[in-house]
């Protein structure tokens, strides 16, 4: 049951699982300077981290190591003095060959390949490429060195040629989506004979090569069917829907009304299908305002949609105006409707000149428009790129804080949390219904609605509740996972890629830090979700919308991530969880209360890893406490039994009272 975690997207450097291994070990010797013209080639010991581009560094390191490593002339001391800083592969390390999932097959095996680790130097071993993973193993040392990387994590593969000591050699740089780069080197003849580069490209990007993603071949059996976690009718029923103001509509049952919306949506009861179609024509991509969540007491609602197609001539739609009025009227507690536009005001103005736009107060007199000034997908992609540069492979300790600040990553996390807090506060304190949209309603809109719902509804803070939230607000409502992540696609420069879902999970992690007992799940749960966002092992995050998933038979031909997680809930549970029902969380959306998620973004650096995962340590302590409590209860029963027995034997003798033992552990 632990194999997906061990061999899937978290493929640790030096270990096979998502959990960071033990920290320790010394920093590799720092180079006195880079190689210059006329100087000797640098050695492994003199190269520590990139002084220029990743490619140039890789060329230098390959030139310094390839010939001697493959010929076996380098001693163990030169290979690594920091080996213990990286974890071994546990069960995987005991296997001679690469472990395979049900349905997985080996495509290439190459010996005498060198993995050039930025933390411990060069390691020689055997490389196995399957249709799911890249598996590198060195068995000459104890503990064994394991590198287990799902191919879905790979963003691009680049060839690097190098010649050293007259030996024609080849190198590959593998750029990953999970904040690390990998560098491999081997003899040129091995490349031409076995096609490592070609195999990696073919199986890391199956959709670009006319093949299916591995999730459709994965045949593991789990005792729980994760596809049954989310049922829209049951979830709306939990919220008290339908009611006199809201109905469950099947106008989109065949996805002809809106191809990116789910088959089942909730709309105002009084709205007719004909009017709804006119509203759809006035909203981008036909994404009309539909209900996401309703307050159980005030009946204030969160509805989501896309931008209105106002255009430069201020076009109006009476059906859309009446529709938003109906949403406001469904909440008797307020005579106002707040429209949260996630975009920057200037960007919304630009969209208006291109046919999009936003709601004007003249057309919607009872509505208040609020711009949240959140940047677009391109800005977020660039921010993550900058973050990756400062966390891998080396960290500049002297400039760490300023470097993190320069990425603006935490500032964007703050803006998302601040926007969600404003939405939650309008619902809870203001008892006012809100409409949330950005441009198309599937990126920033999903971030804001799901975060606000997480703050308002304690159910979503349970494991299965959070799974429901992701299935509902992200997967069913058409966040374009395939485009934003680039599953199986070799176009790494695609402008549609962006870390939108990653930002959402980061915001959730920030909330767990501020409210450590409010969430049933632990950090490993969140990291596992992100790892399998990329891995293509499960079908959960495949495709762009519900309609595509049915067309591709995702629900019948792949396995849900929740099948894996819910089959071993203890691994992902927070031991200090307290379920406070109807308790609203208002996280502090201030940079002074936010921090970089080191255990995710910097987990590949062995010097940054904790000695032991905190949740594991806590679980062990709680297990000891439970065992001691059992022993105390057993002793109490034994004392009580002896007291009764002694009283019976003495019969007519004066009564003796036994003092109960009361011990708390």
Residue 506, annotated ligand binder? no
Strand ranges of the sheet holding 167-176, from the earlier edge strand across to the other edge: 145-150, 133-138, 121-130, 106-117, 181-187, 167-176, 154-164
Angle at 310 between CA 308 and CA 313, to 5 degrees: 180
The encoded tokens of residue 27 equal 């920093």
Nearest to 62 by CA among 17, 24, 115: 115
Strand-pairing partners, residue 303, are 291, 435
Q: Is the distance from CB of 437 to CB of 341 less than 8 angstroms? A: yes
The token duo for 576 is 């200090």
Is 377 assigned a ligand-binding role in the annotation? yes
Whole-angstrom distance, CA of residue 406 vs CA of residue 17? 31
Rounded Cα distance between 376 and 380, Å, is 7
Residue 46 and residue 54: Cα distance in Å, rounded? Answer: 16
Nearest to 409 by CA among 427, 432, 389, 433: 389
**In the structure encoding, which two tokens stand for residue 642, read together?**
């002896």
Residue of 58, 170, 438, 543 with catalytic role: 438
287 is in an annotated binding site: no
Among candidate residues 125, 66, 117, 71, the one with its CA nearest the CA of residue 98: 125
Residues 6+ apart with CB under 8 A from 190: 110, 112, 113, 170, 196
442 is in an annotated binding site: yes
12 is catalytic: no
Tell me, letter by letter, the H, E, C secondary structure of 313-354. CCCCCHHHHHHHHHHHHCCCCCCCEEEEECCCHHHHHHHHHC
| 71 labelled binding-site residue | no
- Both structure tokens of 466: 């959070």
Q: Work out the burial of residue 99: count CB atoms within 10 Å of its CB; fewer than 13 is exposed, 13-18 middle, 19 or more buried.
A: buried
Do the beta carbons of residue 410 and residue 403 sit within 8 Å? Answer: no
- Reading the block at residue 251, the tokens are 């106008």
Instruction: Select from 73, 88, 114, 122 the least CA-distant residue to 19.
Output: 88
Q: Is 252 annotated as a binding residue?
A: no
Provide the H-helix boundaries in 429-443.
none
What token pair was written down for 622?
């709680």
Q: Provide the 10 A C-beta neighbour count for residue 152.
A: 31
C-beta neighbour count of 209 within 10 angstroms: 12
Measure the CA–CA gap between 146 and 132, rounded to whole angstroms.
16
Residue whose token pair is 């179609």: 277
φ, ψ at 172 (rounded to 5°): -130, 135
Cβ(164)–Cβ(63) under 8 Å?
yes
CA atoms within 13 A on the CB side of 446: 27
CB 202 within 8 A of CB 192: no
- Nearest Cα residue to 240 out of 188, 189, 298: 298
631 is in an annotated binding site: no
Q: And the tokens for 184? A: 């491999």
Consult the annotation and say whether 376 binds a ligand. yes
Partners of 17 in the beta sheet? none
**Cβ–Cβ < 8 Å for 121, 145:** no
Determine contact, residues 125/60, Cβ cutoff 8 Å. no
Q: Cα separation of 297 and 133, whole Å? A: 50
**Which has the closest alpha carbon to 374: 498, 497, 496?**
498
Binding residues for phosphate: 439, 441-444
Catalytic residues: 438
Binding residues: 351, 376-377, 439-444, 484
């Amino acid at each position: 049951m632990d194999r997906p975690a061990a061999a899937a997207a978290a493929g640790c450097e030096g270990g096979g699982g998502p959990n960071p291994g033990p920290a320790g070990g010394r920093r590799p010797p720092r180079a006195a300077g880079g190689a210059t013209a006329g100087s000797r080639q640098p050695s492994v010991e003199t190269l520590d981290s990139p002084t220029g581009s990743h490619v140039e560094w890789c060329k230098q390191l390959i030139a310094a190591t390839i010939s001697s490593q493959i010929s076996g002339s380098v001693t163990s001391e030169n290979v690594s003095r920091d080996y213990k800083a990286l974890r071994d592969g546990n069960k995987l390390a005991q296997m001679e060959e690469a472990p395979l999932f049900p349905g997985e097959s080996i495509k290439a095996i190459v010996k005498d390949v060198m993995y050039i680790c930025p933390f411990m130097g060069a390691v020689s071993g055997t490389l196995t490429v399957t249709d799911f993973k890249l598996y590198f193993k060195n068995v000459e040392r104890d503990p064994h060195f394991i590198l287990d990387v799902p191919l879905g994590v790979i963003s691009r593969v680049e060839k690097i040629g190098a010649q050293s000591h007259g030996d024609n050699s080849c190198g590959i740089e593998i750029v990953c989506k999970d904040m690390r780069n990998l560098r491999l080197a081997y003899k040129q003849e091995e490349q031409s004979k076995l096609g490592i580069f070609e195999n990696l490209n073919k199986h890391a990007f199956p959709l670009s090569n006319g093949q299916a993603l591995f999730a459709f071949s994965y045949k593991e059996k789990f005792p729980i069917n994760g596809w049954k976690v989310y049922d829209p009718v049951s979830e709306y029923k939990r919220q008290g829907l339908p009611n006199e103001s809201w109905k469950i509509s099947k106008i989109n049952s065949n996805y002809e009304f809106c191809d990116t919306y789910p088959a089942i949506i909730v709309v105002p009861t009084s709205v007719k299908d004909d009017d709804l179609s006119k509203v759809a024509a006035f909203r981008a991509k036909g994404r009309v305002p539909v209900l996401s969540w309703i307050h159980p007491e005030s009946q204030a609602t969160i509805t989501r949609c896309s931008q209105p197609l106002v255009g430069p001539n201020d076009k109006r739609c009476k059906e859309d105006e009446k529709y938003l009025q109906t949403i406001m009227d469904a909440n008797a507690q307020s005579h106002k409707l707040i429209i949260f536009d996630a975009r920057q005001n200037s960007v919304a103005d630009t969209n208006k000149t291109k046919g999009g736009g936003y709601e004007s107060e003249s057309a919607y007199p009872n509505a208040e428009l609020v711009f949240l000034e959140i940047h677009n997908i391109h800005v977020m992609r660039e921010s993550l790129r900058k973050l990756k540069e400062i966390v891998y492979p080396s960290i500049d300790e002297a400039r760490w804080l300023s470097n993190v600040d320069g990425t603006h990553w935490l500032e964007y996390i703050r803006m998302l949390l601040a926007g969600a807090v404003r939405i939650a506060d309008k619902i809870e304190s203001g008892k006012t219904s809100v409409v949330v949209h950005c441009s198309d309603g599937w990126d920033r809109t999903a971030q804001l609605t799901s975060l606000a719902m997480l703050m308002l509804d304690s159910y979503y803070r349970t494991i299965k509740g959070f799974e429901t939230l992701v299935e509902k607000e992200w997967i069913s409502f058409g966040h374009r996972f395939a485009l934003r992540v680039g599953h199986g696609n070799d176009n790494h420069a695609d402008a549609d890629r962006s870390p939108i879902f990653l930002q959402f999970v980061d915001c959730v992690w920030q909330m767990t830090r501020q409210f450590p007992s409010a969430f049933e799940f632990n950090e490993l749960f969140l990291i596992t979700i992100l790892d399998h966002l990329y891995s293509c092992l499960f079908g959960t995050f495949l495709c762009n919308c519900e309609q595509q998933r049915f067309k591709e038979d995702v629900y019948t031909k792949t396995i849900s991530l929740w099948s894996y997680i819910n089959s071993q809930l203890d691994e992902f549970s927070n031991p200090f969880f307290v379920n406070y029902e109807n308790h609203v969380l208002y996280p502090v959306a201030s940079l002074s209360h936010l921090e970089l998620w080191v255990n995710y973004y910097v987990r590949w650096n062995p010097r940054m890893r904790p000695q032991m995962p905190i949740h594991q340590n806590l679980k062990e302590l709680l297990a000891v406490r439970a065992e001691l409590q059992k022993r105390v209860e057993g002793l109490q029963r034994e004392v009580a039994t002896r007291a009764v027995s002694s009283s019976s034997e003495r019969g007519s003798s004066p009564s003796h009272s036994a003092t109960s033992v009361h011990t708390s552990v």
